[in-house]
């Protein structure tokens, strides 16, 4: 409870549970009988939930896939990958249904860094920029949201206290930013008008951002303490027992865990930024970076996204509007002082 979450840094991972449990006994292992919880759903043709069931189960994962491997299989559309195609079809129907319910697109480009030998004088930095619109990532995201909606319905139908998450609809219509190109620029605009998230521990609350009537995070009990609390409650009900925690208990424990999660997020954010700056420091001087104009701060001072690095920077741009691309060079970067300065390259000098 006091760790609150597993902590993922570029240089190390600190699991919430002891490593032998988190990485082995509790994890799904290829070709091995694994204890799990199965959330099964039948969808209406429009993508809304028709029926659901939740039960303890034993499953044997056939094989493990990376996001890259799954995306490749989806593009290949192989006959023998029928299950994957069914999941993709369900994910597509769900995404359409959630949009019809007012869901808001917040997908971004996220940097991922692994530092293989952080104690060396010149550590090896591996940068990977994760595009959340990647088909496999969208498939997994839709299934996680579907699971959360089903668990919230289960809790509501059976009067189970759970950490229900909600988000009020923004006062600004989704269509207000339809003129912006799909992707990070529109996502940043959508995020800028979001209202504060809400939690209830007695009944579901509508999640306007996801476009669903209720939501409980349930898919990561090994690395998120609040998910684990939901598992305690649901599994007690499945055994025919009273839930171990009241709504008041859950609220108190969630508050404690959330304080530690905030610290972990700050730690992750600071560490990631340091290593992104160190990556940029090592690049050849004068290297051009493709940048996307995300928003204007004042006059021509703008926030840009370096697309190939996944980091946001602020600089003056000579022309263009939100959603346009530009080219920039790094003028100065000091990782330890958290300094990054870039300059736009004028179009007529790019040839």
Q: What is the CATH number of the domain that holds 321?
A: 2.40.50
Do both 72 and 143 map to the same domain?
A: yes
Provide the residue range defining the domain that includes 317.
287-345
pLDDT band at 124 (very low <50, low <70, confident <90, very high): very high
In this prediction, residue 244 carries a pLDDT of 97
Same domain, 228 and 300: no
Q: How many domains does the chain have?
A: 2
Of 13-22, 165-174, 198-207, 316-325, the poorest mean pLDDT is in 165-174
Indicate whether 2 belongs to any domain.
no
Does 11 reside within a domain? yes
Is the model's pLDDT at 172 over the cut of 80? Answer: no
Residues near 48 by beta carbon (within 8 Å), at least 6 away in sequence: 97
| CA dihedral sign, ordered 23, 268, 223, 47 | negative
Place of tokens 């969808």: 43
Last residue of a domain, one of 260, 282, 304: 282
Same domain, 177 and 302: no
**Residue 131, both tokens:** 């595009």
**Is 43 within the bounds of a domain?**
yes
Average model confidence (pLDDT) across the chain: 93
For residue 135, is it within any domain? yes
**Between 147 and 25, whose confidence is greater?**
147
As a whole number of angstroms, the distance between CA 311 and CA 112 comes to 11
48-103, pLDDT tens digit by residue?
999 999 999 999 998 888 888 988 998 898 888 888 999 999 999 999 999 999 99
Neighbour count for residue 23 (Cβ, 10 Å): 14
Evaluate if residue 226 carries a pLDDT over 50. yes
Angle at 335 between CA 332 and CA 336, to 5 degrees: 125
Residues 320 and 204 in one domain: no
Q: Which of 137, 146, 134, 139 is nearest to 47 (CA)?
A: 146
When pLDDT is cut at 50, 70 and 90, the band that residue 107 belongs to is confident
CB 198 within 8 A of CB 166: yes
* pTM strictly above 0.85: yes
Among 239-243, 264-268, 288-292, 344-348, the least confident range:
344-348
**331 and 264 together in one domain:** no
* 7: β partners: 14
What pLDDT is attached to residue 334? 97
Q: Same structural domain for residues 181 and 110?
A: yes
Last residue of a domain, one of 239, 266, 282: 282
Can you tell me the distance from the alpha carbon of 219 to that of 39, in angstroms, rounded to the nearest whole number? 10
- Picking from 235, 256, 282, the residue at the C-terminal end of a domain is 282
Q: Contact 165/254 with Cβ under 8 angstroms?
A: no
Burial of 185 (0-12, 13-18, 19+ CB in 10 A): buried
The answer to whether residues 218 and 314 belong to one domain is no
Question: How would residue 118 be classed by pLDDT, with cut points 50, 70 and 90?
Answer: confident
Q: Assess whether pLDDT exceeds 60 at residue 307.
A: yes
pLDDT score, position 351: 43
What percentage of the chain carries pLDDT values higher than 90?
A: 75
Looking at residue 350, what is its pLDDT?
A: 44
Examine the domain organization and report whether 249 and 119 are in the same domain. yes
Statement to judge: residues 50 and 79 lie in one domain: yes
Residue 333 lies in a domain: yes
Same domain, 272 and 312: no
Q: How confident is the model at residue 43 (pLDDT cuts 50, 70, 90)?
A: very high
179 and 201 housed in the same domain = yes
pLDDT at 130 over 60: yes
SS in 3 state form for the chain?
CCCCECEECCCCEECCCCHHHHHHHCCCCCCCCEEEEEEEEEECCCCCEEEEEEEEEEECCCCCCCHHHHHHHHHHCCCCCHHHHHHHHHHHHHHHHHHHCCCCCCCCEEEEEEECCCCCCCCCEEEEEEECCCHHHHHHHHHHHHHHHHHHHHHHHCCCCCCEEEECCCCCCHHHHCCCCCCHHHHHHHHHCCCCCEEECCCCCCECCCCECCCECCCCCCCEHHHHHHHHHHHHHHCCCCCCCCHHHHHHHHHHHHHHHHHHHHHHHHHHHHHHHHHHHHCCCCCEEEEEEEEEEECCEEEEEECCCCEEEEEECCCCCCCCEEEEEEEEEEHHHCEEEEEECCHHHCC
108 within domain boundaries: yes
For residue 348, pLDDT beyond 90: no
Q: Does residue 350 lie in a domain region?
A: no
Residues 86 and 111 in one domain: yes
Q: Per the domain annotation, does 97 fall within a domain?
A: yes
């Amino acid at each position: 409870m006091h760790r609150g979450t597993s902590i993922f840094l570029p240089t190390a991972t600190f699991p919430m549970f002891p490593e032998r449990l988190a990485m082995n006994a509790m994890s799904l292992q290829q070709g091995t009988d694994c204890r799990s919880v199965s959330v099964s759903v039948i969808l209406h043709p429009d993508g809304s939930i028709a029926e659901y069931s939740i039960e303890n189960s034993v499953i044997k994962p056939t094989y493990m896939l990376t996001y890259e491997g799954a995306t490749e299989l989806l593009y290949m559309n192989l006959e023998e990958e029928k299950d994957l195609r069914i999941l993709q079809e369900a994910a597509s129907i769900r995404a359409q249904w959630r949009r019809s319910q007012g869901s808001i697109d917040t997908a971004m480009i996220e940097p991922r860094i692994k530092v293989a030998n952080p104690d060396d004088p010149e550590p090896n930095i591996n940068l990977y920029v994760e595009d959340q619109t990647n088909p496999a990532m969208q498939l997994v995201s839709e299934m996680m949201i579907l699971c959360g909606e089903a668990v919230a319905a289960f809790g509501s139908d059976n009067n189970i206290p759970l950490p229900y998450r909600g988000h009020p609809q923004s006062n600004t219509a989704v269509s207000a930013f339809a003129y912006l190109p799909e992707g990070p620029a529109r996502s940043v605009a959508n995020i800028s008008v979001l209202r504060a998230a809400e939690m209830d521990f007695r009944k579901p609350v509508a999640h306007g951002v996801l476009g669903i009537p209720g939501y409980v995070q349930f898919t990561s009990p090994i690395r998120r303490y609040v998910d684990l609390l939901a598992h305690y409650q649901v599994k007690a009900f499945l055994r025919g027992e009273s839930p171990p925690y009241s709504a008041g208990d859950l609220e108190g424990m969630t508050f404690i865990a959330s304080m530690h999660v905030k610290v972990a997020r700050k730690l992750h954010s600071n560490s990631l930024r340091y290593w992104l700056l160190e990556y940029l420091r090592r690049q050849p001087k004068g290297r051009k970076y493709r940048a996307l104009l995300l928003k204007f701060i004042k006059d021509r001072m703008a926030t840009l996204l370096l697309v190939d690095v996944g980091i946001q920077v602020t600089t003056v741009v000579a022309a263009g509007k939100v959603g346009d691309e530009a080219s920039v060079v790094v003028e100065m970067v000091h990782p330890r002082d958290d300094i990054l300065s870039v300059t736009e390259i004028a179009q007529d000098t790019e040839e």
